[in-house]
Chain A
């Protein structure tokens, strides 16, 4: 990987961030994880990320508001939504807001890694 791709992961379930971080770092990505949306929000105000992976249903600011904020600040950031409560409405709303992909839980590490790889390829191809 020529230039390290930065990824922010936001999920209020620590088990999700704990699983994803080492696996993605092993693939050469720079990964920061958050379980509180307010902390993640503060971080995206400090710097931009190439890819953001966010859960939808969380305490405080929900994922839909968070991805809106990410896209407002950095339209080129590719956002991937992960959710344990998928509906057609939330999927449609996510895509209207410009997300790259929508993944329902459970998913295997290989599945999300493949989606991140595609998002990274799109970003690098610009």
Chain B
């Protein structure tokens, strides 16, 4: 989202749209600069090709059409000036589990009208190639052990796991070499953040995403490091996930290195 916003002159956290599995159309009722980033989709703007990672100038009445992504899950469409709206708890994001924020607290549907700022054209920019996230069906996530990390066997670190079809913005189910839980494994509820991997009584694990619960009682065995959490939204069903072990100090170095890589293109951006 930050990369799409950059191409239309917005701050990294300006309100944009997130399109899950493509297949969307939007008609612009004003001239505006628009840009696509995230999951790779074939797109066109009233018949003209609409490449990813490049500023597009849409004219009033033109229609942007997105196909289904070939790789990745979520495509971001940013418009110059961002989408107008009132923040809830300091954010314009939609929080689907509780039905607040964003546009009426729900996913967009056909016929919705979003308010844009006054017409503006954008200077044509392109995301530098090294900064474009690579979309793939196999993922490597750097992790530190969670508070219950000692429950894991070596296999959890060495063998890949696979995502099931149970995934949404709260989390992704992972099948893999996870230890089977005993009944006594329920913990008193403690804080959780996106990127946590919890073991569940089903013998599978759950990787939490940004709409996850804030506390929970299942064993918390892994934590995806902050530098790699931006990758989680592009993990799809049937994908393969490997984990790489890090210490907190190594993870801090990873984060600083990645932040430095993006610092020139995205000033002020924080992972």
- To the question of whether A and B form a pair in one complex, the answer is no
B residues lining the A interface (CB < 8 Å): none
